[in-house]
């Protein structure tokens, strides 16, 4: 396929069915088939070679990376399907259109950094970790209270005053909070899974975020280097190059 393909969302399941040559083929409308044919993804009512390769790249991927970014706007979600020698990045352009872009797997680390807008941020003059129970964190993380009230909520939950102040500053300066999750099957048949969640607090630096089994959330002061190391773990060595 071309480097980039804009595919209307309703056509994606239609293409999947055509590529599978299943019994459901008869249920696909002629309009959908005609639109797929105009895109070069179908021919004579069947998936074309191009369409089959596109579906195979997604359904037979050895590595699937899910990216979710939260900003002041609506969440942004996209997916990367990859094998050792090929990869496709899919992202919504709007409510009706999905963009599929073919990329070289060696570009995956750079692409992940671009999607999550990783760059240099001031490093906080302190280090350490803070763990916050679910209820007080939910009460303060989206700015529903003034700073003094939020501070009191955290301290009442057992958070040290100094750390309550630091966390509130980070949450107040939040640029983006993102999660990169990857699952894969390596060439030897082994399986791997990694999830990295980061709060990019702009002038308040990077914070690694980890949801614990007991419902609490742990925030660890990070740096550009620690974020890049964590992101490197989401791309196995056999698929693309590691982040330098």
Q: pLDDT tens-digit profile of 200-238?
A: 999 999 999 999 999 999 999 999 999 999 999 999 988
* Nearest one of 200, 191, 161, 184 to 235, comparing CA atoms: 184
Predicted confidence (pLDDT) per residue in 46-56, tens digit:
888 888 888 88
Q: What pLDDT does residue 1 have?
A: 47
- DSSP 8-state code for residue 198: E
61-82: average pLDDT:
90
Q: What pLDDT does residue 23 have?
A: 53
- Which residues are CB-neighbours of 7 under 8 A, at least 6 positions away? 15, 39, 97, 98, 99, 100
Q: Are 207 and 199 in contact (CB under 8 A)?
A: yes
Whole-model pTM: value is 0.86
Query: Which strands form 217-221's sheet, in the order they lie side by side?
Result: 4-8, 97-103, 87-92, 76-82, 63-70, 176-185, 191-200, 206-211, 217-221, 129-132
Q: What pLDDT does residue 85 have?
A: 84
Q: What pLDDT does residue 26 have?
A: 65
* Nearest one of 186, 196, 15, 199 to 90, comparing CA atoms: 15
| 145 or 163: which leads in pLDDT | 163
Residue 141: count other Cβ atoms within 10 Å of its Cβ.
18
- Which residues are CB-neighbours of 5 under 8 A, at least 6 positions away? 39, 54, 99, 100, 101
Q: Are 129 and 218 in contact (CB under 8 A)?
A: yes
- pLDDT of 109 higher than 50: yes
Helices (H), 47-146: 49-59, 108-115, 134-140
């Amino acid at each position: 396929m071309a480097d980039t393909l804009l595919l209307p969302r309703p056509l994606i399941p239609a293409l999947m069915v055509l590529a599978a040559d299943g019994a459901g083929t008869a249920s696909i409308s002629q309009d959908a088939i005609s639109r797929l044919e105009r895109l070069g993804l179908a021919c004579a009512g069947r998936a074309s070679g191009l369409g089959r390769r596109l579906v195979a790249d997604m359904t037979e991927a050895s590595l699937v990376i899910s990216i979710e970014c939260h900003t002041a706007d609506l969440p942004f979600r996209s997916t990367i399907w990859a094998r050792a020698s090929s990869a496709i990045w899919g992202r919504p352009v709007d409510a009706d259109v999905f963009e599929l872009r073919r990329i070289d797997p060696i570009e995956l680390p750079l692409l992940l950094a671009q999607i999550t807008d990783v760059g240099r941020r001031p490093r906080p003059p302190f280090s350490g970790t803070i763990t916050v129970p679910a209820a007080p964190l939910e009460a303060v993380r989206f700015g529903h209270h003034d700073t003094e009230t939020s501070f009191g909520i955290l301290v009442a939950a057992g958070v040290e005053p100094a750390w309550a102040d630091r966390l509130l500053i980070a949450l107040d300066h939040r640029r983006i909070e993102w999660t990169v999750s990857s699952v894969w099957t390596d060439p030897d048949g082994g399986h791997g899974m990694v999830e990295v969640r980061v709060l990019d607090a702009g002038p308040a630096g990077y914070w690694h975020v980890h949801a614990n089994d007991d419902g609490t959330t742990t925030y660890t002061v990070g740096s550009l280097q620690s974020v890049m190391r964590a992101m490197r773990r989401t791309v196995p060595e056999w698929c693309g190059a590691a982040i330098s």
